[in-house]
Amino acid sequence: MNTSDEEAEQKLPRLNAGNQLFQDLDADNVSATEIESLCMRCHENGMTKLLLTRIPHFKSIIVMAFECPHCGFKNSEVQSGEAIQEKGHRYEVRCTTKADLNRQIVRNSSASVSFPEFEFTAPPATNSLLTTAEGLVTRFIEDLSLDQPQRKEAAPAVYQAIETLLDRLRGVLELPEDEEPGKAVTLVVDDPSGNSYVENLCAPHADPKMKISHYTRTKQQMIDLGMMSEGDGAEQAAEAEAATAPARTNAQKEMEAAEKVERAVRDAAENNEILTFPANCSSCNAPCDTRMQMVDIPHFQQVIIMSTTCDQCGYKSNEVKCGGAISTKGRRITLTLEDKDDLSRDILKSETSSFCVPEVDLDMFAGTMGGKFTTIEGLLRQAHDELDRRAPFFAGDSATAEKRDRFLRFLARLDAAANGDVLPLTLVLDDPMAHSYVQNIYAPDPDPNMVTEDYERSFEQNEELGLNDISVD
């Protein structure tokens, strides 16, 4: 390397000299990266400042500010730095009272908002937004009201249609204090990136007015998110194959891919090898390694355990994938914990299972924490840490004192349960795929404190698992 190359390398900006790519927002310690860039107005060189930061209980963002010393042109922009989630998220909220309008909403720039009763859908926006349901409706009213005088003269039919919609949106802002028959509206927030959130007013309990669903993104949604291009050769080849071969569902394709991975892991397990592949830390987004190995659980089945450790920020996680055939029935396991020794039982919670502990009002939906192979104590502590670290709307200036105190009391009860200070406890593990397991310390004899029951899956459960689309002909 010559001297000029060394000097050029030294001038290259170093994004965030700290250990984490996105640093926590701190007014006393702001470190921005400066990059010389071209001014689009006078075509002279100006200066762009980049700040990669993480707003607590919100998201990671990239703040960009450009200023040209020659012509005085200035421009600033904020972009999301959040990683795209594995699946898209869809929130469906039934608004019946004014309290529902006060729900806080994080609307990512990729999210669409709709009111099915009005046949109204707002497409993805140019920037992300933290607001309330009332704030969203108010913003829609303001945007639709623009240029209405001009429309009245140029296109009376369009003007009248928008006025009708505006009247219905204004009616949403006038919801009663208490529920009344016939006065309700459905708000739907659909985000293919999975980075939008709608506040749960009943947290830590399930909200009866809100339904959350996760879905696999379509090809067009992946193109819109920049995950693939329209001219992707692999995608075109897949389309050509689909035109000449029988159509296959997404569930079938996922099963085939999973079988290939399982065969590779099984071959490695026979040779007592651990597979390692590159990944990114879900906490700081730094490059790290994920290790994977197949383990045989006595009196159950073989499972794939994946472990990720980040050397940059110290984040650790593990996930379990179950192999084998799909069970014809779901399984519900109910365990009564009578002493602290029961907390040390091994437990496998698959990614399709939900679990609850009624004594501490804990109810975790399927897919909330992914697949876990740990102890019961470890599962309760992981649930505590996840809720404490990632639950939005319970900290900061936007949270009310009553809501914050209620959530802190819940976390204290959950921590006491993990310590064994709240006994007896009842753990209910419900898995529609029957891929979850709780250690029977009396094996091979029955456990007097454990009840296992198999049940027929409902149509909705089969639909969510993609089983209704599988053809066995």
Q: What is the average pLDDT across 87-103? A: 91
In this prediction, residue 12 carries a pLDDT of 39
Element (H, E) at 62: strand 60-67
Contacts of 447 (CB under 8 A, 6+ apart): 335, 440, 441
Picking from 303, 254, 323, the residue whose alpha carbon sits closest to that of residue 470 is 254
Per residue in 167-191, pLDDT tens?
Answer: 999 999 999 888 888 889 999 999 9
Is the predicted pLDDT of residue 5 greater than 60, yes or no?
no
Is the predicted pLDDT of residue 353 greater than 70, yes or no?
yes
User: Could you tell me which residues are beta bridge partners of residue 221?
Assistant: none
Contacts of 352 (CB under 8 A, 6+ apart): 366, 367, 431, 432, 433, 435, 465
In this prediction, residue 256 carries a pLDDT of 72
Q: What is the average pLDDT across 52-67? A: 73
The mean-pLDDT minimum among 21-35, 284-298, 309-323, 432-446 falls in 21-35
Q: What is the average pLDDT across 434-440? A: 88
Give the strand order in the sheet containing 120-122: 120-122, 112-115, 185-191, 88-95, 210-215
* Confidence class for position 303, pLDDT limits 50, 70, 90: confident
Per DSSP bridges, beta strands 23-24 and 45-54 are: parallel
In this prediction, residue 207 carries a pLDDT of 85
The size of the chain, in residues, is 473
* Confidence class for position 245, pLDDT limits 50, 70, 90: very low
Distances in Å between the Cα of 418 and the Cα atoms of 2, 101, 147, 339 are: 60, 36, 59, 12
Considering the chain, what is the average pLDDT of its residues?
A: 80
Is the predicted pLDDT of residue 308 greater than 70, yes or no?
yes
Is the predicted pLDDT of residue 433 greater than 50, yes or no?
yes
**269 or 216, greater pLDDT:** 216
Element (H, E) at 65: strand 60-67
In this prediction, residue 15 carries a pLDDT of 40
Q: Which of 155-164, 262-271, 368-377, 396-405 has the highest mean pLDDT?
A: 155-164
Is the predicted pLDDT of residue 224 greater than 80, yes or no?
yes
Q: What is the CA radius of gyration of the chain?
A: 26
The mean-pLDDT minimum among 241-245, 344-348, 367-371 falls in 241-245
In this prediction, residue 254 carries a pLDDT of 63
In this prediction, residue 29 carries a pLDDT of 64
Structure tokens at 222: 């992946």
In three-state form (DSSP H/G/I as H, E/B as E, the rest C), the secondary structure along 86-121 is CCEEEEEEEECCHHHHCCEEEECCCCEEEEHHHCEE
Is the predicted pLDDT of residue 450 greater than 90, yes or no?
yes
Is the predicted pLDDT of residue 434 greater than 80, yes or no?
yes
The beta strand positions in 323-459, using DSSP E, are 330-337, 346-349, 354-357, 362-364, 372-375, 425-431, 437-438, 450-455
* Confidence class for position 164, pLDDT limits 50, 70, 90: very high
Distance CA 219, CA 221 (A): 5
* Confidence class for position 300, pLDDT limits 50, 70, 90: low
- With the CA atoms of 197, 203, 207 and 213 taken in that order, what torsion angle do they form, in degrees rounded to the nearest 10? 40
User: Could you tell me which residues are beta bridge partners of residue 349?
Assistant: 372
Is the predicted pLDDT of residue 318 greater than 80, yes or no?
no
* Confidence class for position 240, pLDDT limits 50, 70, 90: very low
> Helices (H) and strands (E) in the chain — how many of each?
11, 25
